[in-house]
Amino acid sequence: MSAIRLAALVLLGLPSVPALAQQPGAAPNYEVRGLLRQAPAGTRVVLTRHSGGQTVLDSAITDAAGRFRLRGSVPAPDVYVLRVRGQQPTTTLALAPGSRLQLRAEAAQLWRTGEVTGSAEAAALSAMNREHARLMARIEALAQQRGQTADTAAQRRMQRDWDATMAAFGASSRRVARSSTYLAPYVVATFLSSAGADMAFVDSATTRYAQQWPASPYTKNLLKYQAIRRATAVGQPAPAVVLADPTGQRRALSSLRGQYVLLDFWASWCGPCRQENAHLVQLYRQFHPKGFEVYSVSTDRKQADWLKAIEQDGLTWTQVLDEPGEQSVAANGYDIVEYPTTFLLDREGRIIAKNLRGEALAKKLAELMP
């Protein structure tokens, strides 16, 4: 999993799935009793289901000892979000009809300190959350250290530490993903990438979940993106893309048929993308006269940032801006989970290679256009 992908998950929380709000008048079927350390009396605790916005199931306020109780009805086993108002980050709870859970945590550090008992699923999720929080703290510290030294040997040591920490994060997630509980599809959909080293595991897990947990919204999301990945495999025609360029004109990927095309997903805030832009500028000058084109799809939220990066990096080929939300080409057409991601297309618009960069891309283009 890339650091970019990981940071996005931590910031955004659960993937967007249909809301399962508590039904009015439904008989209570769960209870969560909690004890928050360092929480003043009157601290509000809120339980929600993440669905792009937040659907509140219940809320409570702590007493002078930091105790609270949440009680209500959930329609099915699922993962819910617990937050202390005014504090970040949140944490997650595994709740099912009949759950009677106990939580202990520091009010300002729910994710890092939350210990939940009362069911095997709730205990497993809280243990994974604590391990994830510990590993993320290490990743953030390494990111800061890497930016503060130019020493090559130190950079190599930090890279090895970074790789080992990211591997531990993945291993922690896979332990829960291998279980036979309703947590498994949630963990794969949220914490494991469908690219790189995780791909085979994710595909195998998705097939199992389709049999074991077919109604899970996370299984449905995984099946959706599995279908997208198959549609964007090497040998398949690249799915259609029609987006607006900096002038507002709609530009179709298919308009470049007859040339070799690099379909490039990037963003101005992505450091590796900006570094790769420098290589692309050189390759474009060399191979464009021989029939090479680039179609760059930016996922920037702010158009001004996108336009500034185009100018700074000297990008002269086709540039278009992705549409956010349900219309996103990156998310819903190509299942882009890390940046940069590229697809090399032949003259008929079929995918012939993925994620070629730097010298590997130069070598491939030289083979195609000697």
- The answer to whether 187 and 24 are in contact (CB under 8 A) is no
Same domain, 226 and 246: no
Considering the domain architecture, whether residues 284 and 349 belong to the same structural domain is answered as yes
Residues 225 and 317 in one domain: no
113 plus 148 within the same structural domain: yes
The number of distinct structural domains making up the chain is: 2
Residue 237, domain member (yes or no):
no
**How far apart are alpha carbons 217 and 234 in whole angstroms?**
28
Q: What is the CATH number of the domain that holds 195?
A: 2.60.40.1120
pLDDT above 50 for 5: no
Tell me, yes or no, whether 255 and 226 share the same domain. Answer: no
Identify the pLDDT of residue 323. Answer: 87
> Are both 208 and 312 inside the same structural domain?
no
User: Is 25 a residue whose pLDDT tops 70?
Assistant: no
The mean pLDDT of 336-340, rounded to a whole number, is: 87
Compute the distance between CA of residue 190 and CA of residue 198 in angstroms, rounded to an integer: 13
CB 165 within 8 A of CB 171: no
267 closest CA partner among 275, 279, 256, 259: 275
19 pLDDT exceeds 50?
no
One domain, residues 206 and 326: no
**Residue 1, domain member (yes or no):** yes
User: In angstroms, rounded to a whole number, what is the distance separating the alpha carbons of residues 204 and 224?
Assistant: 14
Band (pLDDT 50/70/90 cuts) for residue 54 is low
Residue type, 299: T
Q: What is the mean pLDDT of residues 240-259?
A: 96
**Would 219 be classed as within a structural domain?**
yes
Same domain assignment for residues 18 and 156: yes
Summarised one tens digit per residue, pLDDT across range 266-290 is 999 998 999 999 999 999 999 999 9
Task: Tell which of 208, 231, 254 closes a domain.
Answer: 231
The pLDDT assigned to 195 comes to 61
Range of the domain at 344: 242-368
Instruction: Tell me, yes or no, whether 227 and 248 share the same domain.
Output: no
User: Do 208 and 328 fall into the same domain?
Assistant: no
Verify that 225 and 284 share a domain, yes or no: no
| Range of lowest pLDDT (59-68, 112-121, 146-155, 221-230) | 146-155
Q: Give 96's pLDDT tier (boundaries 50, 70, 90).
A: very high
pLDDT at 263 over 60: yes
215 and 265 in a single domain? The answer is no
Q: Phi and psi of 179, rounded to 5°?
A: -75, 170
Residue 24: band (very low, low, confident or very high) from pLDDT cuts 50, 70, 90: low
Which tokens in the block code for residue 317? 């080929």
Reported confidence tier of residue 2, pLDDT bands at 50, 70, 90? very low
From 206, 231, 256, give the residue that closes a domain.
Answer: 231
In the listed set 199, 231, 263, which residue is the last one of a domain according to the structure?
231
Buried b (16+ CB within 10 A) or exposed e, 206-239: bebbbeebeebbbbbbbbebbebbeebeeeeebb
Using the predicted structure, report yes or no on whether residue 112 has a pLDDT greater than 90.
Answer: yes
Tokens of 173: 């997630």
Under the banding of pLDDT at 50, 70 and 90, the label for residue 14 is very low
- The CATH code of the domain that includes 353 is 3.40.30.10
